[in-house]
């Protein structure tokens, strides 16, 4: 029979149980099969013998199991929804690739000295997120060593690096729109343009710094290259624009065909 402990006296080792039949049963500590002492309010299962309860076991409330089942269903639903986003269109997958590209090499900086074999100079790589103060300090140190640094040039270089943030910001907004529902074509094109702008940001920045460092000749020069992350941003940006215009579609989407 199911029931609930109403009261228990640790000193006397006795207590009272309310059964599901509406009757009350006394019990002794010796009949308690649970861990620790019996506690009032605990849901139990027991056997009734006249007015006494024997073989008393604690049971877990059904609400706990229900909560676990609900959480499991919510998690399963979220996984299925995420999988559908990756299969139904190209917006979510390409936005994720843009965020991945932000952690790959955005720019690489390599000083070269006349007479030194290629690859001997230490090359430093920076991701989009890391292409900030550390990159500028590295470039500044090279320019100072070549007596080609000026505050105005470095200030301009700092400004030139800012458009790169368009890529991750628009990608996150696009992902949120995908999660809330199918995003608009305009938002998809904006995210694609943001990724392309970030790539152009890397190329223009590299060209400007190389011009500053190598313009007057000398024994030392600096080579700055767009990294894997920058090129991946370009490809993802083009992909988003083509997807928004219906030129390409997700091959995993059933019945989906790109427009002519």
- Write the pLDDT tens digit of every residue in 70-107: 666 666 777 777 787 788 889 999 999 999 999 999 98
For residue 118, name the pLDDT band (cuts at 50, 70, 90). very low
The CATH number of residue 41's host domain is 2.40.50.140
- Tell me the C-alpha distance between 229 and 199, whole Å: 9
Q: Does residue 259 belong to any structural domain of this protein?
A: no
Instruction: Say if residue 53 is in the same domain as residue 100.
Output: no
Query: What strands, in cross-sheet order, belong to the sheet with 220-226?
Result: 124-127, 105-113, 220-226
DSSP-derived pairing of the beta strands 220-226 and 14-19: unpaired
Q: Does residue 72 belong to any structural domain of this protein?
A: no
Instruction: Say if residue 39 is in the same domain as residue 95.
Output: no
Domains in the chain, number: 2
For residues 85 and 10, the model is more confident at: 10
Residue 227: how many other CB atoms lie within 10 Å: 21
pLDDT digits (tens, 9 = 90+) for 203-239: 988 888 777 766 555 555 678 889 999 999 999 999 9
Domain that holds residue 47: 2-59
For residue 22, name the pLDDT band (cuts at 50, 70, 90). confident
Instruction: Say if residue 213 is in the same domain as residue 108.
Output: yes
Give the three-state DSSP class for 109. strand
Instruction: Say if residue 166 is in the same domain as residue 225.
Output: yes
Q: Does residue 77 belong to any structural domain of this protein?
A: no
Once rounded to an integer, what is the mean pLDDT over residues 136-149? 61
The distance between the two most distant Cα atoms of the chain, rounded to a whole number of Å, is 106
Residue 46: how many other CB atoms lie within 10 Å: 22
Q: Does residue 251 belong to any structural domain of this protein?
A: no
Q: Does residue 73 belong to any structural domain of this protein?
A: no
For residue 117, name the pLDDT band (cuts at 50, 70, 90). very low
Once rounded to an integer, what is the mean pLDDT over residues 52-63? 79
Instruction: Say if residue 119 is in the same domain as residue 229.
Output: yes
Once rounded to an integer, what is the mean pLDDT over residues 229-254? 91
Structural contact between residues 124 and 138, judged by C-beta atoms closer than 8 angstroms: yes
For residues 115 and 17, the model is more confident at: 17
Instruction: Say if residue 128 is in the same domain as residue 234.
Output: yes
Residue 71: how many other CB atoms lie within 10 Å: 10
Which pTM was predicted?
Answer: 0.63
Instruction: Say if residue 104 is in the same domain as residue 231.
Output: yes
């Amino acid at each position: 029979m199911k029931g609930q402990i109403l009261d228990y006296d640790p000193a006397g080792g006795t207590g009272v149980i309310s059964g599901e039949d509406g009757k009350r049963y006394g019990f002794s500590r010796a009949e308690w099969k649970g861990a620790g002492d019996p506690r009032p309010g605990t849901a139990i299962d027991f056997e009734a013998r006249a007015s006494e309860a024997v073989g008393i076991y604690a049971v877990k409330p059904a609400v706990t199991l229900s909560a676990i089942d609900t959480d499991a269903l919510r998690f399963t639903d979220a996984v299925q929804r995420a999988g559908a986003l990756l299969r139904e269109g190209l917006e979510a997958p390409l936005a994720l690739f843009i965020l991945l590209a932000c952690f790959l090499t955005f720019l690489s900086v390599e000083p070269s000295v006349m007479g030194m074999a290629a690859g001997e100079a230490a090359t430093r790589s920076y991701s989009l997120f890391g292409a900030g103060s550390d990159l500028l300090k590295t470039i500044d140190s090279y320019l100072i060593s070549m007596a080609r640094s000026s505050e105005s040039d470095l200030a301009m270089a700092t400004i030139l690096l800012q458009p790169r943030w368009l890529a991750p910001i628009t990608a996150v907004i696009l992902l949120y729109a995908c999660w809330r529902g199918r995003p608009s074509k305009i938002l998809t094109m904006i995210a694609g343009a943001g990724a392309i702008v970030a790539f152009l940001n890397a190329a223009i920045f590299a060209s400007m710094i190389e011009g500053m460092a190598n313009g007057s000749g000398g024994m030392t020069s600096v080579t700055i290259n767009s990294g894997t992350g920058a090129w991946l941003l370009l490809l993802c940006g083009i992909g988003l624009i083509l997807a928004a215009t219906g030129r390409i579609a997700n091959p995993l989407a059933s019945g989906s065909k790109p427009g002519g």
